Amino acid sequence: MVSFKIQRPDSPNDRSEPLHPNRVRSPRRRVVVEGTFQSLTGTYRIAIKNLSCTGALIQCGQPLQVGKEGVLQGAHIDQFCRIVWTDGTHYGLQFDEPLAMDVVLELHRITGDDVQRAASKAAEDWWRNQAP
């Protein structure tokens, strides 16, 4: 005899169930990308932590409000979006138009070492340009 165990969430706060049961969430990819979130009220420096075709998880040191609309800009990204949730300094964004999967996969390949090398090269180039 074969038996199966059906797991059900113990509480409504269990995140194993989708937040919106009728909406399928696009697969997320971890990324390491610096960028900006621009809205009518300002431009905010952010770090993009994960990315999908339909949205992103960002971290921002300044408080942002759920519902705020703006443009997410970073490497290969220039997307109109809206903040749909917050958890401290982390914010979930939903894109107005889907981002191409090849862009998501390209950014997923960028590692922390790649970012550090690019920052070091930019600092070195700046230093060379400052020399008399």
**Residue 42's closest CA among 71, 78, 67?**
71
The pLDDT value recorded for residue 27 is 65
Domains of the chain, first to last: 29-130 (2.40.10.220)
For residues 85 and 111, what is the distance between their CA atoms, to the nearest angstrom?
A: 26
Count Cα atoms within 13 angstroms, Cβ side, for 7. 5
Could you read off the pLDDT of 49-79 as tens digits, one per residue?
Answer: 888 889 999 999 999 999 999 999 987 889 9
Q: How far is CA 63 from CA 8, 34, 49, 83, in A?
A: 35, 17, 17, 12
**Residues in CB range of 64: below 8 A, 6 or more apart:** 37, 44, 83, 86, 91
Question: For the chain, which residues score pLDDT lower than 50?
Answer: 1-22
The pLDDT value recorded for residue 66 is 95
The pLDDT value recorded for residue 114 is 61
